[in-house]
Copies of this chain bind each other. A is one copy, B any other.
């Protein structure tokens, strides 16, 4: 047995895993072609379709983390020379830009300031000007805590005949996701955020339009591992062996999705919204300041400028003490926001009042803060 200490995981993911999911992980393993396991695969595919808001046949748990889901989308849907438009307002938009380029796309980017949403009009204008074959952007930008409105951009892309790829890594299970209604062609998520599963799977979904694009490729998909045609042979009626599915993780995901469906996705969305709003209010009272305008804040991941007292005391040191003395992990800033913000996740099982109470208490104690010394507002 390991002697690792338990943690309250309030960073950008992984989040804490429900005890029933941990119990599912500890069940004896079965084979990846075992009928009993294949019934679980069917169940997972069905529950993921409902959660993604799609009827897409190829809705599956990819055998990778969320970043592998991103790779799968671009590897399948892009060929050398294809025009791709990417919206970039944080690390994960940058990553989409990078991955699309590696697959040979001629990539155009529309940038927005980190901490803001993409300018929808600018995206639409770029779509109409560039006429890209594919448009990609992030629904929930984990590096900045920004929720990106999807519908207008996706509609403009569809009207221009472009496929749309949407990063739902942090949104799925905590915000409404409606791939079919929004006309999204490929989307991917991760299990360790609002689904409260361990990392290692990327739930993903591909529309028939996307699969038709794959069928029309002039060149093979460079990635054998993420080839949607081959994956569809296992995750379909034929159950043809492709690679050994991560059976234990998929059984755990099934349990997590049962828990999610018992709560109901609408109730879960409301729970995340309430928790995120309360967290921000509590921390504003301590001198933190939200990075993101209210209408674009993610409920499950709050990005906050630090109070002067924490910057002076050393934010990395305070995070280390929160971890060591209180068993609480929060996230620092990525890229240009490193050292300047914290990213606090209330994802899945952690989007609850008692978690907020524990965090706020620990921050007050750890930083020597209390609300009487830090009035609400800018420091």
User: What is A's interface to B at a CB cutoff of 8 Å?
Assistant: 1-2, 4-7, 9, 11, 13-14, 16-17, 20, 22-37, 40, 63-68, 70-71, 75, 95, 98-99, 101-104, 190, 192, 198-200, 220-225, 241-249, 251, 254-255, 323, 329, 334
A254 and B323 contacting across the interface, CB-CB below 8 Å: no
Question: Separation in Å of the A345 CB from the closest CB of chain B?
Answer: 10
A329 and B31 contacting across the interface, CB-CB below 8 Å: yes
A24 proximity list for chain B (CB < 8 A): 1-2
B29 and A26 contacting across the interface, CB-CB below 8 Å: no
Which 8 residue pairs spanning A and B have beta carbons closest together? A198-B248, A200-B246, A67-B243, A26-B26, A25-B25, A6-B28, A71-B225, A22-B26
A9 proximity list for chain B (CB < 8 A): 29-31
A26 and B25 contacting across the interface, CB-CB below 8 Å: yes
CA distance in complex: A28, B25 (Å): 11
Copy count, this protein chain: 2
CA distance in complex: A6, B31 (Å): 10
Q: Count chain B CB atoms within 10 A of each CB in A66, A67, A243 and give the residue with the most.
A: A243
B1 and A23 contacting across the interface, CB-CB below 8 Å: yes
Assess A244 versus B4: contact at CB under 8 Å? Given A9-B30, A26-B23, A198-B249.
Answer: no
A-B contacts, 19 of them at CB < 8 A, read A6-B28, A7-B29, A9-B30, A17-B29, A23-B26, A25-B25, A25-B248, A30-B329, A31-B329, A63-B64, A63-B65, A63-B68, A63-B200, A68-B225, A102-B221, A102-B223, A199-B246, A200-B249, A222-B223
CA distance in complex: A50, B340 (Å): 41
A7 proximity list for chain B (CB < 8 A): 28-31, 34
A31 and B17 contacting across the interface, CB-CB below 8 Å: no
